[in-house]
Amino acid sequence: MEPAIVTHGVTKSFGRVTALSDLSVELPPGVVGLVGANGAGKSTLLKILLGLLPPTSGTATVLGHDTLTEGLEIRRIVGYMPESDCLPADVSASELIVHLARMSGLPAAAARERAADTLRHVGLDEERYRPVGGYSTGMKQRVKLAQALVHDPRLVFLDEPTNGLDPTGRDEMLALIRRIGTEFGISVVVTSHLLGELERIADHVVVIEGGTLQRSTSTAEATAASGVVLVEVTTRRDAVVETLRAAGIAVEAPDGADIFTVTVDDATVLDAVTAAVATTGVGLVRLQPRRHHLTEMFTGANR
Ligand SMILES: Nc1ncnc2c1ncn2[C@@H]1O[C@H](COP(=O)(O)OP(=O)(O)OP(=O)(O)O)[C@@H](O)[C@H]1O
């Protein structure tokens, strides 16, 4: 698969501050999470990729276009949701999004239709006729997302879209981002300082810290089976654990948890688990490989 984005040795300095340092990375199509603590250089990288900011040195391409010389073409096919609060307060979401659709080249009737569709997709219905200034943070984030999507881009950059949202708002926004990637087939680069939330929705995760690349991994690879299975039984957990330990199998059973884990060092272990459950006379609720969480691998990035 052709990468969607390629950077070669990208460095960006602001006076004495080096925001990005010799960053070389390839991002595949799909949903890509860009993770880093505050000040890691995420927003700077997005602005360089949009052709809005020239790198001090190095080169980058987005969907095959050079960021230095083809910025206009990039911004025609890429949507951008900035981190900052950038919406005019005294127009309605509907007026704003119709206006942006017209600016992208659609005639009036088509622009109204596209704007209404886009606002519906991001979950804004009747509210769209009220002035944006009175919206909650969650609603404003949805309007910012709509403006990034209304010109029908092939790729969107979403800068901290979950910022300022409560836990339910975060979950809804993350589900929406996943849908943009899967149902609409638009590639997404989404930034966050929280690795845990991006590993839930991203196909690939890139971690940057202090302007340098820490890691670039597919989520599937990073969460590959760890050689440990999770077991949950309907009742009498401790009896099942005792039976397994008596058979010389390594079991971890934290106090108070319904679940325990078993190290699978050879194929007979899984049979021993099902046999122990059967002889104890209880039901098996789950028997599944435990996955490595990305958060376990990059603990430093999840601050
Ligand atoms: N225009 C600018 N002038 C001077 N310094 C800047 C400018 N833009 C960014 N920086 C600095 O570059 C570094 C990286 O900033 P950047 O905004 O890219 O980080 P970030 O990972 O997006 O963090 P945040 O989540 O806080 O926005 C920071 O030290 C920041 O202060």
**Which two three-digit tokens encode residue 258?**
């319904």
Kindly provide the ipTM of the predicted complex, given to two decimals.
0.95
Same domain, 137 and 148: yes
Is the pLDDT confidence value at 297 over 70? no
**For residues 91-119, average pLDDT:** 95
- For the cut 60, the answer to whether the pLDDT of residue 302 exceeds it is no
* Residue at a domain's end among 202, 222, 242: 222
Residues 256, 211 share a domain = no
Q: For residues 70 and 180, state if they share a domain.
A: yes
d(CA 274, CA 287): 9
Residue 153 has pLDDT above 90, yes or no: yes
Residues 26 and 54 in one domain: yes
From 12, 16, 44, give the residue whose CB has the most ligand 1 atoms within 8 Å, as the site to mutate. Answer: 44
pLDDT digits (tens, 9 = 90+) for 194-241: 887 888 889 999 999 899 998 898 877 766 656 788 888 888 999 999
When divided into structural domains, the chain yields a total of 2
> d(Cα 6, Cα 10) in Å, to the nearest integer?
10
Same-domain status, 37 and 126:
yes
Q: What is the reported pLDDT for 128?
A: 92
Whole-number Å distance between alpha carbons of 42 and 12: 12
Residues 103 and 126 in one domain: yes
Whether the CB of 49 sits within 6 Å of ligand 1? no
The least confident of 127-131, 158-162, 282-286 is 282-286
Range ranked top by mean pLDDT from 11-25, 29-43, 284-298: 11-25
**CATH number of the domain where residue 229 is located:** 3.30.70.100
The range of the structural domain enclosing residue 287 comes to: 224-300
Q: What is the Cα–Cα distance from 191 to 197, expressed in whole angstroms?
A: 10
* Domain closes at, from 222, 237, 271: 222
Same domain, 84 and 228: no
Top pLDDT among 265 and 126 is at 126
With a 6 Å cutoff on the Cβ, whether 38 touches ligand 1 is yes
| Amino acid 303: pLDDT | 36
Q: CA-CA distance, 61 to 54, in Å (whole number)?
A: 12
Instruction: Identify the CATH number of the domain in which residue 86 sits.
Output: 3.40.50.300
